[in-house]
Amino acid sequence: MTPKRKRITAGILSAVLPGSGHFLVARKRAGIFWVAAFLLFLVLSSLVRFWTHYYSLIASAWFLMFFSIFAAHDASFRPKSENRPSRFWLFLFVPLVFIPTQLMQVAWWLGGYRLYIVPSTSMQPTITMGDRIVADSHYFRNHSVEQRQILVFKKEGLFIVKRVEAVPGDVIEGKAGTFYLNGRELDEGFEKPTEYSTAQFLAAFGPIKVPPGEYFVLGDNRSVSRDSRQPDYGNIPANHIVGRVLYVFNPLEPTHNKNFVQKP
């Protein structure tokens, strides 16, 4: 392989895995630096839960793409010599920098993050049909389930998203469409949809005392949601919970993007 081709190949390799191409051109120290920096970023981002927020995830993807371009440039064009290839080759490297973002997705998945597409209207207006949600399946290793949190849980072989409205020991009741938690009117904190009328069996229920190890969940679209108000649905056992929903986004409707967790 000619020196010029070796440099081009080094750039391709470092675009795919930052630093790997440096070893081909006998720049071992630089290769170790780029590879270590790349892996350190992925590990630390996962450990400190940096991807808890949607915009942090997007910023990480952009950072890795630019990082890979700089690594490829460094492998191909430095140090300067007569064997340095034309800068035209940079255009070849650009499509390859999406590969490190795929490696980031592996770290993201290993960190416990899960992506789901919502197929129903039961959580409108908070989450609409077609929205994407990201849940942290590791969240409840260090946190307890609290009222108002939005969860993903598994029921009858399906992954379902609902909001926790009562935790073990709470008493919840519905009267004529108004809900009461421990004797006080429930502050629902969101605008209710108006396109449906509430069915009687969904408007009045209980009182229900939530037993230990279970959680009473509701869909935000109270008038159509199938949830813990119905006896055949019941409460959600703790061991059925997959994780806490962190954020929602929709590539076609950016106005739907929102975070539910303020701190990692």
**Domain check: are 96 and 145 in the same one?**
no
**Domain check: are 101 and 181 in the same one?**
no
Q: Distance between terminal CA atoms of the chain?
A: 49
Q: How far, in Å, CA of 82 to CA of 78, rounded?
A: 11
Q: What is the pLDDT at residue 264?
A: 38
**Domain check: are 171 and 204 in the same one?**
yes
**Domain check: are 82 and 137 in the same one?**
no
Q: Which one of 80, 110, 140 terminates a domain?
A: 110
Residue 255 has pLDDT above 80, yes or no: no
Q: Which of 122, 223, 225, 228 is catalytic?
A: 122
Total number of domains constituting the chain: 2
Summarize pLDDT for 115-173 with one digit per residue, the tens: 999 999 899 888 989 999 999 999 999 899 999 999 999 998 899 999 999 999 999 99
Q: What CATH number has the domain bearing residue 231? A: 2.10.109.10
Burial of 215: CB neighbours in 10 Å, binned 0-12, 13-18, 19+ = buried
> Quick check: is 56 catalytic?
no
Place of tokens 């952009």: 62
CB within 8 Å of 52: residues ≥ 6 apart: 136, 246, 261, 264
Q: Which of 45, 60, 68, 162 is catalytic?
A: 162
Question: Among 44-48, 91-95, 129-133, whose mean pLDDT is lowest?
Answer: 91-95
Place of tokens 């949601």: 225
The secondary structure element, H or E, covering residue 127 is none
**Domain check: are 76 and 132 in the same one?**
no
Whether 264 is in a domain gets the answer no
**Domain check: are 248 and 146 in the same one?**
yes
Place of tokens 């009117």: 185
Q: Which one of 110, 131, 149 terminates a domain?
A: 110
**Domain check: are 51 and 142 in the same one?**
no
**Domain check: are 132 and 84 in the same one?**
no
Whether 191 is in a domain gets the answer yes
Residue 55 has pLDDT above 60, yes or no: yes
pTM: 0.80
Q: Tell me how crowded residue 3 is: count the other CB atoms within 10 A of its CB.
A: 13
Q: What is the pLDDT at residue 197?
A: 46
SS3 204: coil
Q: Which domain holds residue 14?
A: 3-110
Amino acid (1-letter code) at residue 115: L
Mean pLDDT, residues 184-211 taken together: 70
Summarize pLDDT for 7-33 with one digit per residue, the tens: 889 989 999 999 999 999 889 999 999
Q: Which one of 110, 143, 168 terminates a domain?
A: 110
Residue 74 has pLDDT above 80, yes or no: yes
**Domain check: are 48 and 18 in the same one?**
yes
Residue 207 has pLDDT above 60, yes or no: yes
> Quick check: is 122 catalytic?
yes
Band (186; pLDDT cuts 50, 70, 90): confident
**Domain check: are 155 and 177 in the same one?**
yes
Whether 154 is in a domain gets the answer yes
Whether 180 is in a domain gets the answer yes
Name 153's bridge partners. Answer: 160, 241
**Domain check: are 65 and 162 in the same one?**
no
**Domain check: are 41 and 159 in the same one?**
no
Q: How far, in Å, CA of 127 to CA of 123, rounded?
A: 5
